[in-house]
Protein backbone atom coordinates (compact mmCIF):
# COMPACT_ATOMS: atom_id res chain seq x y z
CA UNK A 1 0.00 0.00 0.00
CA UNK A 2 1.36 3.39 -0.98
CA UNK A 3 0.86 5.95 1.75
CA UNK A 4 -0.72 9.18 0.60
CA UNK A 5 1.40 12.28 0.81
CA UNK A 6 -0.59 13.61 3.74
CA UNK A 7 -0.25 10.38 5.72
CA UNK A 8 3.49 10.51 5.04
CA UNK A 9 3.60 14.03 6.44
CA UNK A 10 1.49 12.88 9.37
CA UNK A 11 4.07 10.19 10.11
CA UNK A 12 6.95 12.69 9.98
CA UNK A 13 5.12 14.83 12.56
CA UNK A 14 4.33 11.88 14.83
CA UNK A 15 7.91 10.68 14.53
CA UNK A 16 9.41 14.03 15.47
CA UNK A 17 6.96 14.27 18.36
CA UNK A 18 7.82 10.82 19.69
CA UNK A 19 11.57 11.16 19.15
CA UNK A 20 12.35 14.85 18.98
CA UNK A 21 15.77 15.92 17.81
CA UNK A 22 17.88 18.28 19.89
CA UNK A 23 15.52 18.30 22.86
CA UNK A 24 16.96 19.48 26.16
CA UNK A 25 19.20 22.19 27.58
CA UNK A 26 22.06 23.67 25.58
CA UNK A 27 25.41 24.20 27.25
CA UNK A 28 26.97 27.56 26.42
CA UNK A 29 23.95 28.94 24.59
CA UNK A 30 24.37 32.51 23.35
CA UNK A 31 20.77 33.25 22.36
CA UNK A 32 17.46 32.09 23.75
CA UNK A 33 13.80 33.02 23.81
CA UNK A 34 10.51 31.44 24.80
CA UNK A 35 7.08 31.64 23.26
CA UNK A 36 3.67 30.64 24.52
CA UNK A 37 0.52 29.76 22.65
CA UNK A 38 -2.40 30.25 25.05
CA UNK A 39 -4.87 28.74 22.56
CA UNK A 40 -3.31 25.32 22.86
CA UNK A 41 -1.11 25.66 25.95
CA UNK A 42 2.14 25.15 24.04
CA UNK A 43 5.31 26.56 25.57
CA UNK A 44 8.63 26.35 23.83
CA UNK A 45 12.11 27.68 24.51
CA UNK A 46 14.64 27.81 21.70
CA UNK A 47 18.32 28.01 22.59
CA UNK A 48 21.07 28.70 20.08
CA UNK A 49 24.83 28.81 20.14
CA UNK A 50 26.18 31.16 17.53
CA UNK A 51 29.73 31.47 16.29
CA UNK A 52 29.70 34.93 14.73
CA UNK A 53 26.68 34.85 12.43
CA UNK A 54 26.62 31.07 12.12
CA UNK A 55 24.24 28.91 14.19
CA UNK A 56 26.40 26.09 15.54
CA UNK A 57 23.84 24.44 17.79
CA UNK A 58 20.10 24.69 18.23
CA UNK A 59 18.09 22.93 20.92
CA UNK A 60 14.62 23.26 22.35
CA UNK A 61 12.70 22.59 25.53
CA UNK A 62 9.04 22.88 26.24
CA UNK A 63 5.65 21.41 26.73
CA UNK A 64 3.16 21.28 23.98
CA UNK A 65 1.12 19.37 21.47
CA UNK A 66 2.60 17.02 18.89
CA UNK A 67 2.60 19.75 16.26
CA UNK A 68 4.54 22.26 18.31
CA UNK A 69 7.08 19.65 19.40
CA UNK A 70 7.53 18.33 15.88
CA UNK A 71 7.92 21.85 14.53
CA UNK A 72 10.55 22.65 17.18
CA UNK A 73 12.41 19.43 16.39
CA UNK A 74 12.34 20.21 12.65
CA UNK A 75 13.47 23.76 13.41
CA UNK A 76 16.62 22.64 15.24
CA UNK A 77 17.59 20.47 12.27
CA UNK A 78 16.75 23.15 9.72
CA UNK A 79 18.65 26.08 11.23
CA UNK A 80 21.85 24.36 12.32
CA UNK A 81 24.68 25.58 10.10
CA UNK A 82 22.71 28.53 8.75
CA UNK A 83 23.45 32.16 9.45
CA UNK A 84 21.11 34.13 11.70
CA UNK A 85 19.82 36.01 8.64
CA UNK A 86 19.13 32.78 6.73
CA UNK A 87 17.32 31.32 9.74
CA UNK A 88 15.03 34.33 10.19
CA UNK A 89 14.19 34.41 6.49
CA UNK A 90 13.41 30.68 6.65
CA UNK A 91 11.06 31.43 9.58
CA UNK A 92 9.35 34.12 7.50
CA UNK A 93 9.04 31.81 4.47
CA UNK A 94 7.52 29.08 6.63
CA UNK A 95 5.00 31.45 8.22
CA UNK A 96 3.93 32.69 4.77
CA UNK A 97 3.74 29.16 3.41
CA UNK A 98 1.58 27.91 6.30
CA UNK A 99 -0.88 30.77 5.87
CA UNK A 100 -1.58 29.95 2.21
CA UNK A 101 -4.64 27.85 1.36
CA UNK A 102 -4.15 24.07 1.22
CA UNK A 103 -3.19 22.66 -2.13
CA UNK A 104 -1.49 25.79 -3.41
CA UNK A 105 2.15 25.87 -4.35
CA UNK A 106 4.11 28.91 -3.30
CA UNK A 107 7.60 30.20 -4.07
CA UNK A 108 8.40 29.70 -0.38
CA UNK A 109 7.85 25.98 -0.65
CA UNK A 110 11.05 25.03 -2.45
CA UNK A 111 13.64 25.90 0.21
CA UNK A 112 11.58 24.50 3.08
CA UNK A 113 12.67 20.87 2.71
CA UNK A 114 11.22 18.65 5.45
CA UNK A 115 9.30 21.60 6.86
CA UNK A 116 6.60 21.06 4.22
CA UNK A 117 5.52 18.20 6.50
CA UNK A 118 3.87 20.93 8.61
CA UNK A 119 1.54 21.84 5.74
CA UNK A 120 -1.41 20.03 7.36
CA UNK A 121 -2.04 23.15 9.46
CA UNK A 122 -2.99 25.02 6.29
CA UNK A 123 -6.26 23.08 6.53
CA UNK A 124 -6.68 23.84 10.23
CA UNK A 125 -5.94 27.54 10.71
CA UNK A 126 -6.71 27.30 14.44
CA UNK A 127 -3.65 25.07 14.83
CA UNK A 128 -1.34 27.23 12.72
CA UNK A 129 0.25 28.88 15.71
CA UNK A 130 1.24 25.46 17.12
CA UNK A 131 3.52 25.05 14.10
CA UNK A 132 4.81 28.62 13.98
CA UNK A 133 5.40 29.03 17.74
CA UNK A 134 8.97 27.63 17.83
CA UNK A 135 9.80 29.89 14.88
CA UNK A 136 8.48 32.91 16.76
CA UNK A 137 10.82 31.97 19.60
CA UNK A 138 13.67 31.60 17.10
CA UNK A 139 13.09 35.07 15.68
CA UNK A 140 12.86 36.53 19.17
CA UNK A 141 16.09 34.75 20.18
CA UNK A 142 17.82 36.30 17.19
CA UNK A 143 16.51 39.72 18.15
CA UNK A 144 13.92 40.06 15.44
CA UNK A 145 10.46 41.29 16.32
CA UNK A 146 7.82 38.71 15.44
CA UNK A 147 5.40 39.88 12.75
CA UNK A 148 2.15 41.43 13.94
CA UNK A 149 -0.81 39.10 13.94
**Cβ neighbours for 72, distance < 8 A, ≥ 6 positions apart:** 20, 23, 44, 46, 60, 62, 64, 133, 134
User: Does the footprint of Zn ion cover residue 65 (CB under 5 A)?
Assistant: yes
47 phi/psi in degrees, rounded to 5:
-120, 140
User: Does the footprint of Zn ion cover residue 130 (CB under 5 A)?
Assistant: yes
Closest contact distance (angstroms) between CB of 126 and Zn ion is 10
Kindly determine how many residues on this chain lie close enough to bind Zn ion according to the rule CB under 5 A: 5
Q: In b/e form, how buried is each residue of 17-31, taking b as 16+ CB within 10 angstroms?
A: beebbbeeebeebeb
Closest contact distance (angstroms) between CB of 128 and Zn ion is 10
Stretch near Zn ion under the rule CB under 5 A, chosen from 20-28, 101-109, 113-121, 126-134 = 126-134
**Cβ neighbours for 102, distance < 8 A, ≥ 6 positions apart:** 119, 122, 123
Closest contact distance (angstroms) between CB of 13 and Zn ion is 12
Q: Which of 13, 22, 26, 42 binds Zn ion (CB under 5 A)?
A: 42
Closest to Zn ion by CB, 55 vs 138, is 138
* Angle between the N-to-C axes of helices 84-98 and 128-141, in degrees from 0 to 180, rounded to the nearest 10: 160
Closest to Zn ion by CB, 45 vs 68, is 68
User: Does the footprint of Zn ion cover residue 68 (CB under 5 A)?
Assistant: yes
Decide: helix, strand or coil at residue 78. helix
Where along the sequence are the contacts to Zn ion (CB under 5 A)? Answer: 40, 42, 65, 68, 130
Amino acid sequence: MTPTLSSLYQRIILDHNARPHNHGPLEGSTHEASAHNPLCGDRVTIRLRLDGERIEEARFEGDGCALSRASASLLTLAVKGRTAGEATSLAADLARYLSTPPGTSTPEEAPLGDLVALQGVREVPARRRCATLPWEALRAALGEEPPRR
